Structure 1
């Protein structure tokens, strides 16, 4: 089980374009501990810390299938 991110974390409202939604959710939820609040199929998802409606929006609308970042 992943440890949730501290609900007192201060995060601005951010929307990010990602190449692979599942990979991005694996990082933001699985590694950093954000909670998935809502998902729109394979195109968009919203995650938060502490139950807020969302701090980070992730979408593939203009970026699906892009290359991953370089190693390191």
Structure 2
């Protein structure tokens, strides 16, 4: 038997090791799919933490595409 942990086990341990961490902190944030040699990475709709401006940031309220900023 090996003591080597899988990537997911190590990720879970790392994300839940802080004193106030919860299981939700280790929830998946991205979906990765492979189609015809192309890898697609999508932020999950139910991800608690998402890239971009957060709540309370005026930029989050703007409806302007990044290409126009």
* Larger RCO (CA under 8 A, 6+ residues apart): 1
- Work out which of the two has the higher radius of gyration on C-alpha atoms and give 1 or 2: 2
State TM-score, norm by structure 1: 0.22
State TM-score, norm by structure 2: 0.23
Which structure: greater strand fraction? 1
Which structure: greater helix fraction? 2
